[in-house]
Amino acid sequence: MAQPDRSLVSAFHRLASYVGEHAQAGEVLFAGFDGEQSEFMRFNRAQVRQIGRVERMTARLHLMTNGRQAVMQCTLTGHEHDHQVLRQAHQTLRYLIGLSAVDPWLDFDRDARTSQQIQPGRMPNPDEVVDTVCSSAGAADLVGFHAAGPVACGLASSLGHRLYHESAWCDTGFTVHAAGDRAIQDRVAAGHWDRRGLEQAIVSACARAQLLRRDPLVLEPGEYRVALSPRAMADLAGMLAWDGFSARARVTGISPLARLWSGQQTLSKTLWFSDDLEQAGVPAFHELGFARPPRLSLIEAGVGASELVCARSAREFGLAATGASDSEAPQALSIAPGRIEHEQLLSALGDGLMINQFWYLNHSDRSAARVTGMTRFATWLVRGGEPVAPVAVMRFDDSLYSLLGDTLLGLGDRVHWFPNNDTWESRNFGGIAAPAALLGSMNFTL
């Protein structure tokens, strides 16, 4: 007996076939497809702790009739049984939609389109990953997580939509522990396996971890000149994604960048933000069919350029939609690089703090774009452009209008990509691309 075709694209086409054949008169049926074929590994003390492969495919049926809607998600197997699962889910939605109220803001794309984009990438053999991580780390106390393989997203509708996007990438994140709670964290992620790049990153982290064995300095609260690594800058800029670019958040009064959009405040003229779906390999279509621009400029020279507006917000608030997802959060936030040479960041800092990442961040005053957070792991006191000693944990509280405004002295000339590594339900598209940053001052309260 021939084995079933379990490729992601074939599973999508089978789903699309069901949608095209089973919608009744008066029904509009959209079906979203998500799938992955991923190799996973976990490392502990530079040894393999867990290894395995995950194959997952799901369908999200979205039925709409006369302004009412109902949604259900089901798991696909790649076998003929999927047809029965879809039919049962469809029948359940027909029942539920009769109990649903009319949604006045419901909208969907009525112009059917077709597209198929597959970016295969060059993925590693699991044995090669194991050998690279373990041999590079040696006796270091390294823990890490590796994921690689294709991830797919598709959309089919009874109106004729046939949209499919698949891309593969590998992402290896790791931590080299030094002493106590002090450690070096790093990630190597790309669309093609880069053994040499991962080796160099691990060896560099192991070397820097040795410096963390020095006794940490306890500094007094106050203003400090600061250099942020690309990871720390991505953490900080990521706070803006919490409703900062959302039109709905601005209209309802919860946007942390409300003063930017009203023109009351600006950010540094060196800042250019965009939601760069094309560069990040993110599907350029909404779950209800709307096309999304490959790149949407959000901030230009420190001034608000475009908000993220989903179809619902456009209809409710009388705005022009920009193809955003319903969350109205950027999926591929990208910050343009500056002019500070990568190797000269500490020299440009001179005396101050080098922050490699934040422990956590949160809003302390959302309306004023104030953010609080703590340093941890690798934060250094720098003197004359050279790291002197690790610094004990400190808390900061400052306004993003200041940190990314007048006190932003410059940005690094290299942009680093940090893909979304959330794997609670599945691997996900998107992430943040950010350069390093040099700040004239940062307010530490504890």
Q: What is the 3-state secondary structure (H, E, C) of 361-395?
A: EEEEEHHHCEEEEEECCCEEEEECCEEEEEECCCE
Place of tokens 């799938």: 35
> Could you tell me if 284 and 291 are in contact, meaning their C-beta atoms sit under 8 angstroms apart?
yes
> Could you tell me if 161 and 109 are in contact, meaning their C-beta atoms sit under 8 angstroms apart?
yes
Joined together, the tokens standing for residue 4 give: 């079933």
pLDDT tens-digit series, residues 384-442: 999 999 999 999 999 999 999 999 999 999 999 999 888 778 899 999 999 999 999 99
pLDDT tens-digit series, residues 142-154: 999 999 999 999 9
Q: Note the pLDDT of residue 81.
A: 86
What are the φ and ψ backbone dihedral angles of 362, each rounded to 5 degrees? -160, 160
CA-to-CA dists, residue 223 to 2, 30, 217, angstroms: 69, 54, 16
Q: Note the pLDDT of residue 437.
A: 98
pTM: 0.92
CB-count exposure of residue 244 (10 Å: 0-12, 13-18, 19+): buried
Beta bridge partners of 30: 62, 157
In terms of Cα–Cα distance, which of 375, 379, 333, 346 is closest to 358?
Answer: 375
Q: Number of helices (H) and strands (E) in the chain: give both, helices first.
A: 11, 22
**CB atoms inside a 10 Å sphere around CB 219:** 14
DSSP-based three-state secondary structure for 436: coil
Residue type at 295 in one-letter notation: R
- Give me the residues of the chain with pLDDT under 50, please: 1-3
Q: Note the pLDDT of residue 315.
A: 95
